[in-house]
Structures are given as C-alpha cells and as structure tokens.
Amino acid sequence: MSDGTARGSAYPSEDYSYPTALMTDMYEYTMLDAALQDGTASRRCVFEVFTRHLPAGRRYGVAAGQGRILDALESFHLGEEDLRFLSDQGIVSPGTISWLERFSFSGSIRGYREGEMFFPNSPILQVEGSFAECTLLETLILSILNYDSAVASAASRMASAANGRPCMDMGGRRTNEWSAVAASRAAVVGGFQGTANLLAAKLYGLKPIGTAAHCFTLLHDSERDAFTSQIQALGVDTTLLTDTYDIEQAVRTAVEVAGPELGGVRIDSGDLASLAQRVRNQLDALGATTTKITVTNDLDEYALASLQTAPVDSYGVGTMLVTGSGAPTCAMVYKLSEREGSDGVMVPVAKKSPDKATVPGRKLAYRSYEYGLADCEHVISGSEDQLAAFAPDEGWKNLLVQYMDGGESDARYQGHEAITAAHAYRAKALSELPITAQSLMKGDPVIPTEVLSL
C-alpha cells in the first residue's frame, strides 16, 4: 500500500478522511466474524465483478472506477473509534476486533482497463485472496464500479453525439456532493474534457471550467456593468452568459464591452439550435468571428445529436451526465467463483438460482477482430492450471490487466496520468467496435459474448 499519494503523478489521490472500511454492508462483517470462528476465513477465494445485462437498449458499457478502488484500498483499515463502533453495536466478536486491528488487504486484483468497453458477462474485475479480506471489499468495489461506469458510459455516448466538440461536466449540483467528485473523474474517462467541480479538478488534475451564473448579471445595475466587471476580472478571453434578459442585446453589449476578441458566449435556455445560429450570425456581423458559443441547459446525448449541425463549439452537461442518462447503475454484482476446499484444493463454485446463475471458475477475457473491428467477446473459465495452459487464437486481445499483486497496487493505474490514459484508451476502444456502437437507437450489445468453460 502507498502513502496516499498517486504515484507517477503530481496530483494527490483521494483524501479519504472517513473510513472506507465502513463503506460496506453489515453482513460482510457478520460473515467475516462467523468465518473466523469456524475456520473458513483463511480459505483462498476468487470473487468476480460482472453484469448480467447492459441497461435496456445500450450497445456497450465503459468500465471506470478502478483507479478510485486502488485509492480507497490505501486507506482501507479501521481506527480505534471504528473498532469501538463495531464492538459496541455487537456486530462482531472480540476475536474479530483483534483480527481487524491488524487487517490490510494482501490479495490481488485484475480486470478490464479503465476506459475499456464491457458487455454482459464480461469479467470486469477479479479479486483474489482469503475469504476474510475479499468479502469485506464487496460493497465498496460495487458502489465505485457501478456508479463510475454508469457515468462513463453515458459520457461516452454524449462525447460521440457531440461529434468532436468538447463536453464539460457541470453536474455537481445535481447529485450527492461526493458522487459529484466521482462523476467528474468518470466523465473524463468517458470522453469529457473538463469539470466545473473544483475538488475533482484538484484531486485528479482535471481541467477546471466556469465563469459566471445568472445571479452575477442580476447583481449588477445593468448587464453592461456585469460584463464589464467579469472582463476586468477574467480578461476578454472569458465566456459571457447571454440569456439573462434579451440574448440579441446581450451579444451586442458583450462585443461592445470586450471587443471582437471576446472568448465566448454561453446560452442556457430556449431553442438552442436556433439561438446558436442567430448568435453565430450576429457575432460574425459584429466582427467577433473567433468568439466561441457554448450551450448548456439539461443536455443529454439525444440533445447533443440534434445540435450537430448547429454552430456550437462546446457543451456543458449536468443532470443527465451524473445520473447515467437514465441508467444510474450498471447492475454489476460481486460473486464468488472459486474457493479453496477443506483439502486445500481450489474448487469452482456457482449459483444456480433461476435468472441469477453464475459461471464457475476464474476467468480470462479476450476480444477477437475481423477486418480491424471487434466481432466477439470471449470469456474463458476454468481452473488456474487450465487457464495458464489456454492459448487464445491469433489476433485476440487480452482484456485483463493486473491492478494489485500481493496487496501492492500498480501506480500506472492511479493519478492524473491514469485518467488521461483511460480517456485516450476509451476513444481507441470505441473506434474498434462496429459503427453501430455509436448509434443512439436502442438495440442489442454491439458484439456478442461467448463463454467457454474448460
């Protein structure tokens, strides 16, 4: 474990001033307590994160949050007050309190890269270690992956619909204050360029954006006074909000105050396509031909697609981004797929519940291609020895990377550089899927998933 600094980066990782080891469900601790008492807690286990289905009509998902998991595990331990809480509430026995005093995750984690596409039954993350240490991670891992991947998946659809125009996160006021920070990071993994959330910008080295709201204009005796004040404070390269009163008059005043070098104007209401066209023509007529137009106002991927022919230079997206554009979770689950038996031999295990059956055994994952485009996701399950001997077909891409080994995280997947790499990786991975992946029409996953049990 590291000291909380994102290695390979000038930026700190998340500062968890609260115990991530309590960001869990009570039954994980009661299971731990029982397993410690009956002697099964030390059994070696493999847990797997996957989703049985994508949100209705979605063609793909984008994996995000793995770096945040590594950050969270660096502070995954319990202090005296936390242990006292567990004891006072009668959640665990004194023997388990003693075990928890010494706890530090020493297992291994591998899975899909941040920014990678995933599909039903993709083994997005695999956690290996003792039952005791792996079971405690379930809720934390799922809460991070489910939310971050939902936001990244929505962001990816929005970035595609924007057709190369920058999208910025403005969703902080539309969600929980902590999920707002997570959403900013996930949005950039999913293809966004920056965020209005300053804590996210500080923690992850993201590009901060923002200038002024309607209240700033309303504060002043006139719109001209407000624009003059903003330009004096921020320079002519700032973006002025033009729809507090009359947009046409506001644009005229903005150019009069800032000159033709005005950086940008923002439109936050009305028929955005029509208004953007009128504002562009007006700006050009006033000589402000380089002034950019940003639009906001409850945008989603469908609204962005409808604006592709409008003269808009960038978008600010809020509510629909941080709520996954109607799919705020990816329905990922964390299931035991292999465990050590009483004889010390690893045994594949699986649920047989109706509609919730799982595939036993640890997994490998590959993607095959034809003519440069992905045509199938291949999930291979089996014993450790069987998987070690498995030879994928020529040209198959291995989708799994090692995030942690023996409790030590790989610094390449934490910090600002990791987010930048994930941002670029998503664009490349999406370009390798059939073009129908970028369709906003409802349909099946763009490629099938084939599961082979050895």
Question: What does pLDDT average to in each consecutive run of 10 residues of the chain (454 residues)?
Answer: 38 63 95 98 98 96 98 93 96 97 96 98 98 97 98 98 97 95 98 97 96 98 98 98 98 98 97 98 98 96 97 98 97 97 94 89 97 97 94 97 97 97 98 97 97 94
Domains 20-152+329-360+398-432 and 211-312 share a fold: no
Domain spanning 211-312, CATH class: alpha beta
CA distance 189 to 67: 11
In angstroms, what CA-CA distances link 4 with 140, 234, 414, 443? 17, 35, 10, 42
User: Which uninterrupted H or E stretch holds 109?
Assistant: strand 108-112
Task: Give strand ranges (E) for 303-361.
Answer: 314-317, 332-340, 346-348
Closest CA to 66 of 179, 11, 145: 145
Closest CA to 66 of 180, 129, 177, 149: 149
Closest CA to 368 of 447, 431, 439, 451: 447
Q: How far is CA 8 from the centre of its chain?
A: 20
CA distance 321 to 301: 9
Which amino acid, residue 266? Answer: R
How many other CB atoms are there within 10 angstroms of residue 203's CB atom? Answer: 22
Q: How far is CA 357 from the centre of its chain?
A: 27
pLDDT for res 238? 98
Rounded (10°) angle between helices 177-189 and 138-162? 50
DSSP helix, strand, coil percent of the chain (3-state; round to 5): 40, 20, 40
Going 313 to 316 to 317 to 322, the CA torsion angle's sign is positive
Structure tokens at 114: 């941040």
Structure tokens at 404: 């942690």
> For 421, left (φ over 0), alpha (ψ -120 to 50), or beta?
alpha
CA distance 56 to 193: 27
Contacts of 356 (CB under 8 A, 6+ apart): 52
Backbone phi and psi for residue 149, each to the nearest 5 degrees, phi listed first: -70, -35
Instruction: Give the pairing of strands 400-405 and 108-112.
Output: antiparallel
Question: What pTM, to 2 d.p., does this model score?
Answer: 0.95
Which 3 state secondary structure label does DSSP give 335?
strand
Structure tokens at 143: 């809460």
Whether the Cβ atoms of residue 220 and residue 226 lie closer than 8 Å to each other: yes
User: For the domain with range 20-152+329-360+398-432, which CATH number is right: 3.20.140.10, 3.10.20.30, 1.10.340.30, 3.30.1490.20?
Assistant: 3.20.140.10
pLDDT for res 9? 41
pLDDT for res 13? 52
pLDDT for res 17? 66
Residue tagged 């009570």 (tokens): 26
* Cα-based torsion angle of the residue sequence 288, 289, 294, 297 in order, rounded to the nearest 10 degrees: 80
Whether the Cβ atoms of residue 296 and residue 312 lie closer than 8 Å to each other: no
Calculate ∠ Cα 115-140-364, nearest 5°.
Answer: 50
What are the residue boundaries of the structural domains of the chain, listed by start? Answer: 20-152+329-360+398-432, 211-312
CA distance 357 to 379: 16
CA distance 116 to 426: 6
pLDDT for res 5? 38
